[in-house]
Amino acid sequence: MPYPQLTWSTRKQLTRLGSALRGGVRPELEAVYQRIFDRDIERLGIGNDFYPVSSAANYSLMYLVSRLLQNFKFRQIVELGAGQTTLLIDAFKKKTIFDGSATTIEHDKNWKDFIQERVGHELKLVPLSSSHYVGGYDLTSLEISSKIDFLLIDGPPASGTGYLSRHSALPFVEQLNENGFVVVIDDAERRGESELAKRIADILHSKHIDFRVGDVLAAKRQTVFASGVFESAAFF
């Protein structure tokens, strides 16, 4: 045991801190992104009923999604993992700031139904696979009819033997809009998500696609791939 003299709770907190330090996150900036997010939501007249705490989207992710939706006209958003960002996308859609299509993928039926009652766009229930990427989405029966402008990867849960579960998002890279796209990987400070970012970069290089990469650092790390008309998103 790495911390034999400490309680289980303290050991868990220290393990998270160690992971955060290795991933290069900056928790002290969380309050900065919260202030920016709160300011923008108030200015846009959107009720601030969000809870970016615990395992939900943190404030830097909420800031990033909000800024992307304010600055760009996305036609097709695909979101992996339902939650606070799903509610945020819906709020922008109800204000007609975002007028494209959105599809959210979720594996937990109860959670899917809970969020679906609160948003206008479709949530698709997609089971997890026990093969290939352990705990990843089973996308064999899922179809996205149009090219993807904005791909948000924040699901499924990734831990333990399933730390590569979010690599199940890789087929969506083949559906990115060749005229421009944004890909956001949440929790990019973690090993699995960091490796996913490298794999996405390799695929884009193999396709000879020009793109930029940026990171947003707070309590968590978001890695951003941006191309074409959305290239400036890498600098948000």
Q: What is the CATH number of the domain that holds 43?
A: 3.40.50.150
Whole-number pLDDT of residue 24: 80
User: With 50 as the cut, is the pLDDT of residue 3 above it?
Assistant: no
Whole-number pLDDT of residue 12: 46
User: What's the whole-number mean pLDDT along residues 71-78?
Assistant: 98
Judge whether 12 lies within some domain. Answer: no
Judge whether 113 lies within some domain. Answer: yes
Q: What angle do CA 113, 190, 16 make, to 5 degrees?
A: 90
User: What's the whole-number mean pLDDT along residues 175-180?
Assistant: 96
d(CA 23, CA 114): 32
Q: What angle do CA 16, 150, 167 make, to 5 degrees?
A: 50
Each residue's pLDDT tens digit, 17-40: 544 445 689 999 999 999 999 999
Judge whether 5 lies within some domain. Answer: no
Tokens 């009923």: give the residue.
49
Whole-number pLDDT of residue 10: 46
The two tokens of residue 126 are: 């997609």
Say what the pTM is: 0.89
Q: What percent of the chain has pLDDT over 90?
A: 81
Q: Are 110 and 147 in contact (CB under 8 A)?
A: no
Judge whether 15 lies within some domain. Answer: no
Judge whether 66 lies within some domain. Answer: yes
User: With 90 as the cut, is the pLDDT of residue 62 above it?
Assistant: yes
Q: What does the DSSP assignment read for 91-136?
A: HHHHTTS--SEEEEEES-HHHHHHHHTT-SSEEEE-PBPSSSSTT-
Residues in contact with 159: Cβ distance below 8 Å, sequence separation at least 6, in sequence order: none
Judge whether 39 lies within some domain. Answer: yes
Report the chain's terminal Cα–Cα distance, integer Å: 40
Whole-number pLDDT of residue 134: 79
Judge whether 21 lies within some domain. Answer: no
Of the CA atoms within 13 Å of residue 71, those in its CB half-sphere come to: 16
Each residue's pLDDT tens digit, 93-147: 999 999 999 999 999 999 999 999 999 999 999 999 877 677 899 998 898 989 9
Residue 147: domain span: 29-235
Q: What is the mean pLDDT of the chain?
A: 91
Give bridge partners of residue 215 from the DSSP assignment: 223
- How many domains does the structure of the chain reveal? 1
Whole-number pLDDT of residue 190: 95
Judge whether 199 lies within some domain. Answer: yes
Closest CA to 189 of 17, 50, 23: 23
pLDDT-derived band of residue 197, with 50, 70 and 90 as boundaries?
Answer: very high
117 burial type by CB count under 10 A (0-12 exposed, 13-18 middle, 19+ buried): exposed
